[in-house]
Amino acid sequence: MPCFLRVSGLSRYYDNVAAVDDISFEVNKGEFVALLGPSGCGKSTTLKMIAGLEQPDEGIIEIDGSNVVDKSPGKRNLSMVFQSYALFPHLSVKENILFGLKARKVHKTEQKKRLASVVEMVDLGQHLNKKPGQLSGGQSQRVALARSIVSNAPLCLMDEPLSNLDTKLRADMRSEIRTLQKKLGLTVVYVTHDQIEAMSMADKIILLNQGSIEQADVPENFYNKPLTTFVASFIGHPPMNLIPHNDVLLGVRPEHVSIVEDNGLDVTVRECDYQGSETIITANYKDSLIRACLPGKRTIPDGSVVKLRWKPETEHLFNNKNGHRVPAGTTSVFPFHQL
């Protein structure tokens, strides 16, 4: 699969502080890549530099083999979907969708053809004459998507497009965006702070932390092989347990922890959080907290001492000083049979 977007040594500074610090990555043609990370990690700044809305202090941005760092946004052959939808309130849905084509003086016959195609894709046929103020959040997002799709730009940038929607609508729109992306063969760079969006939608995830890339990988490796404690604690709900033990941090995901009758780690229950399909048990172990996800409803009195256990193959080990992953052994760091 050919590389369509290449970012090399990209940096952006504000008051001598690096918002984006020498990052490099590639996006293949037709690939859906998520830029994931907490607020302030540099993901939106990176997207704006790719779009041409901000100028990098260092680095190269290549789109389809051409360096576009010095090109204006309109000459980069891309489209962008914003968090705020950015619809013109005085224009109808139809006029909003066609605004870019009219500005580029695309022939009216071609405008009509593209409009008919995109309206069917995003199911807006009943709303073409409405103004944005008459639309729901999901409908407004569809208009923004339609405006992007109708441009026929091969690269689409999306900046947290679903963050203003409720939980159910977000799930529906995730599916719709992914289906459209595959159908049209779009190359998508998608900014989000939501790990569920990234894990469920992306072919590849680039996780940023304080302007640098922590891990760039396929979604399953973020769960199964996190490279740092930051990745381990960012991906997963609840996040991975990180337990100090000698010169390492032992990581084990709450869903891999069980309560047992014997040969387990003695912990003191702090609280039980029932969430319908599961109960999350939070317990104290020395100076650490350990969480266990147990199926169904479990009620354990606060202060109770229980035994926890997990299989050795579910353990992850990290260097206690730099937080980097180290190879796990075949036997558990905690020899439960000796407890």
Residue 122's pLDDT is: 80
Measured over the CA atoms of residue 254, residue 255, residue 260 and residue 264, the dihedral's sign is negative
What is the tens place of the pLDDT at every residue in 107-118?
Answer: 999 999 989 888
Q: Could you report how far apart the first and last alpha carbons of the chain are, in Å?
A: 52
What is the tens place of the pLDDT at every residue in 53-103?
Answer: 999 999 999 999 999 999 999 899 999 988 777 889 999 999 999 998 988
Q: SS3 letters for the chain? A: CCEEEEEEEEEEEECCEEEEEEEEEEEECCCEEEEECCCCCCHHHHHHHHHCCCCCCEEEEEECCEECCCCCHHHCCEEEECCCCCCCCCCCHHHHHHHHHHHCCCCHHHHHHHHHHHHHHHCCCCCCCCCHHHCCHHHHHHHHHHHHHHCCCCEEEEECCCCCCCHHHHHHHHHHHHHHHHHHCCEEEEEECCHHHHHHHCCEEEEEECCEEEEEECHHHHHHCCCEHHHHHHCCCCCCEEEEECCEEEEECHHHCEEECCCCEEEEEEEEEECCCEEEEEEEECCEEEEEEEECCCCCCCCCEEEEECCHHHCEEEECCCCEEECCCCCCCCCHHHC
Residue 141's pLDDT is: 84
| Residue reference for tokens 């066609």 | 98
Our measurement of the distance from residue 228's CA atom to the centroid of its chain's CA atoms, rounded to an integer in Å, reads: 17
Q: 338: pLDDT confidence band, cut at 50, 70 and 90?
A: very low
- Pair (286, 180) in one structural domain: no
- Pair (54, 126) in one structural domain: yes
**Alpha-carbon span 91 to 130, nearest angstrom:** 8
The mean of the pLDDT values for the chain is 92
State how beta strands 78-81 and 155-159 pair.
Answer: parallel
What is the tens place of the pLDDT at every residue in 269-297?
Answer: 999 999 999 999 999 999 999 999 999 99
What is the tens place of the pLDDT at every residue in 307-319?
Answer: 999 998 899 999 9
Domain boundary pick from 195, 223, 251: 223
- Pair (144, 12) in one structural domain: yes
- Pair (207, 277) in one structural domain: no
- Pair (294, 206) in one structural domain: no
- Pair (261, 143) in one structural domain: no
Domain boundary pick from 191, 223, 255: 223
Please name the residues in contact with 33: beta carbons below 8 A apart, sequence gap of 6 or more. Answer: 25, 27, 188, 189, 190, 202, 203, 204, 205, 206
Question: Given a cut of 90, is residue 2 above it in pLDDT?
Answer: no
- Pair (50, 181) in one structural domain: yes
Locate 282 and state its tokens: 């939070």
Is-cis flag, bond preceding 244, omega within 30?
Answer: no
Domain boundary pick from 173, 204, 223: 223
Residue 339's pLDDT is: 42
What is the tens place of the pLDDT at every residue in 119-152?
Answer: 887 888 899 999 999 998 888 888 988 888 888 8
- Pair (197, 52) in one structural domain: yes
**Alpha-carbon span 101 to 109, nearest angstrom:** 11
User: Which range is most confident: 178-192, 219-233, 320-334?
Assistant: 219-233
Residue 196's pLDDT is: 93
How many domains does the chain divide into?
Answer: 2
What is the CATH classification number for the domain harbouring 254? 2.40.50.140
**Alpha-carbon span 324 to 216, nearest angstrom:** 15
Question: Given a cut of 60, is residue 337 above it in pLDDT?
Answer: no
Find out whether 216 and 228 touch, Cβ atoms under 8 Å: no
- For 86, how many CA atoms within 13 A lie in the half-sphere containing its CB? 16
pLDDT average, residue stretch 160-169: 82
What is the CATH classification number for the domain harbouring 115? 3.40.50.300
- Pair (247, 187) in one structural domain: no
What is the tens place of the pLDDT at every residue in 213-262?
Answer: 999 999 999 999 999 999 999 999 999 999 998 888 999 999 999 999 98
- Pair (219, 232) in one structural domain: no
- Pair (311, 260) in one structural domain: yes
- Pair (170, 298) in one structural domain: no
Give residue 73's domain range. 3-223
